[in-house]
Amino acid sequence: MWLGFFALLLGLVLGLWLPSIAIFPVTLQQQLPNYLGLAILAAIDATLGAWRANMEGTYDTGVFLSGFFVNMLAASLLAYLGDLLGVNLALAAVVAFGSRIFNNLAVIRRIMLQHWRQRTSRVG
Amino acid sequence: MRQYLANDQRFAVVLVGLTLGLLIGLQVRTLGLQRGSVGTSRVNVLVERLLRAQDEIEKLREEVDKLRQQISDYEKAMAEGRAATQRMASELNNLRVLAGLTKVRGPGVIIWLTDASKPNSPEDPSSGIVHDTDLLMLVNELRNAGAEAIAINNQRVVSTTAIRCVGNLITVNGVTISPPYEVSAIGNPNKLKEALTMPGGIVEQLTALGIPLKIYQRQDVIIPSLSVTPRLDLARPSEK
């Protein structure tokens, strides 16, 4: 479990450090946040989905990894396409991922509550 | 939920954690950079800045106009001040001439007259003598003809000058003078002479009494300044 946190921390440091040595062109730096935000949203959604699947006992690494990266790319591409077409497709991705994140959170909450109740009833 | 993670699961966790951290870090960092730098600011921010700068330019332009106006005002005032000074200087000069404080020269006439060697009418011995009143009338006539400066035997005649008889002598400005008398006046020479020689005028009256009198017209008459300074003890300028 801690491995994941360490990896997250390492990634954070790397991400904070990379732009400070200015290896990105200016135009990319201007456009990056528009798509990166969506990618992050997709990543969080995939992670929460994996957590939920793990709790439900249906977790599959292949599904998780593929979903993680494909959703990330898809969300970014969708936003890019929306920019090309002049339609705010990023909004669609935000709504979809947002609702899914809340859904997953709700399921996780319920399962955890159940686990906790089972444990307390067994002890009591 | 402590359980052993399979190898592929560990790999997935590391990969996902790294990627998520990288993305979040990049996002936070680039957003921070964007907020910090001017060049990548959004268009509306730039527009707002432009509008503010234009406002400022407008305000500064108004100020420039105001300051220019002030400068021209000051210049005008300065010119007026200079003109006023010049006017005052010339007025002062005129007043000095009128008050007899300066020696003056200019075109005018010189009247030479003296007592008759023998009286015209033997029954009145004083008839052939030049009296103070004769000189007064002469001066009066010259003034009437526009004389600007008058002197009798080099004694300047001004507003405070008294011409009177003391014994058988005449004093001007308190200084005794004696015949022959020489009255010089600056003014238009022709006008002065005409005024003196008009029919029934002062010259006719004096020559009728047998007093020798000559009038010379000169282009350059020199009249000295007042020998005594008039005193001003009581008279004060009054606004009313």
Residue type at position A67: G
Cα–Cα nearest to A108, from A35, A60, A54: A54
Rounded CA separation A86/A83 (Å): 5
**pLDDT class of B2 with cuts at 50, 70, 90:** very low
> For residue B59, which phi and psi values (nearest 5 degrees)?
-65, -45
Rounded CA separation B73/B148 (Å): 40
Rounded CA separation A54/B12 (Å): 13
**B173 in any annotated domain:** yes
> The tokens of B235 are what?
């008279």
User: Is pLDDT above 70 for A82?
Assistant: yes
Express each pLDDT in B78-102 by its tens digit: 888 888 888 888 888 888 888 888 8
**B174 in any annotated domain:** yes
> The tokens of B3 are what?
């359980």
pLDDT of residue B78: 87
Domain that holds residue A88: 2-19+26-123
Q: Using a CB-CB distance cutoff of 8 angstroms, which residues of chain B are in contact with residue A16?
A: 25, 28-29
For residue A106, the distance in angstroms to the closest alpha carbon of chain B comes to: 19
3-state secondary structure of A75: helix
Q: How many structural domains compose chain B?
A: 1
Express each pLDDT in A97-122 by its tens digit: 899 999 999 999 999 898 888 888 87
**pLDDT class of B110 with cuts at 50, 70, 90:** very high
Spell A10-22 as b/e; 16+ CB within 10 A means b: bbbeebbebbeee
Express each pLDDT in A28-59 by its tens digit: 666 777 788 888 888 889 888 888 888 888 88
Q: How would you classify the pairing of strands B155-157 and B163-166?
A: unpaired
Cα–Cα nearest to B110, from B4, B192, B168: B192
ipTM above 0.85, yes or no: no
- A12 contacts B21 by C-beta, under 8 angstroms: yes
3-state secondary structure of B40: coil
Q: How many structural domains compose chain A?
A: 1
Mark yes or no for CB contact B16/A65 under 8 Å. Answer: yes
Q: How would you classify the pairing of strands B213-223 and B181-186?
A: unpaired
**B228 in any annotated domain:** no
> The tokens of B116 are what?
């008759």
Q: Given phi > 0 = left and psi -120 to 50 = alpha, else beta, which region is B125?
A: alpha
Express each pLDDT in B193-205 by its tens digit: 888 888 888 888 8
**B85 in any annotated domain:** no
Q: Using a CB-CB distance cutoff of 8 angstroms, which residues of chain A are in contact with residue B40?
A: 26, 29-30
pLDDT of residue B65: 93
Q: Give the sheet arrangement for strand B149-152, strand by strand.
A: B155-157, B149-152, B181-186, B104-113, B213-223
Which domain CATH number covers B123? Answer: 3.30.70.1880
**B98 in any annotated domain:** no
Dihedral Cα A92, A69, A109, A101, nearest 10 deg? -10
Mark yes or no for CB contact A68/B16 under 8 Å. Answer: yes
- B213 contacts B138 by C-beta, under 8 angstroms: no
Q: Which range among A13-27, A60-74, A86-100, B62-76 shows the weakest confidence by mean pLDDT?
A: A13-27
> The tokens of B138 are what?
């002469």
Rounded CA separation B4/B18 (Å): 21
Dihedral Cα B197, B201, B203, B205, nearest 10 deg? 150
Mark yes or no for CB contact A9/B21 under 8 Å. Answer: yes
Mark yes or no for CB contact A32/B24 under 8 Å. Answer: no
Q: Give the sheet arrangement for strand B175-177, strand by strand.
A: B163-166, B169-172, B175-177
> The tokens of B160 are what?
């405070």
Mark yes or no for CB contact B30/A4 under 8 Å. Answer: no
Q: How would you classify the pairing of strands B213-223 and B104-113?
A: antiparallel
Cα–Cα nearest to B151, from B67, B201, B225: B225
- B218 contacts B189 by C-beta, under 8 angstroms: yes
3-state secondary structure of A84: helix
Domain that holds residue B172: 104-223
> For residue B190, which phi and psi values (nearest 5 degrees)?
-65, -45
List the single best residue of A1, A12, A18, A40 to mutate versus B (max B Cβ within 10 A): A12
What is the widest separation between alpha-carbon atoms in chain A?
A: 62
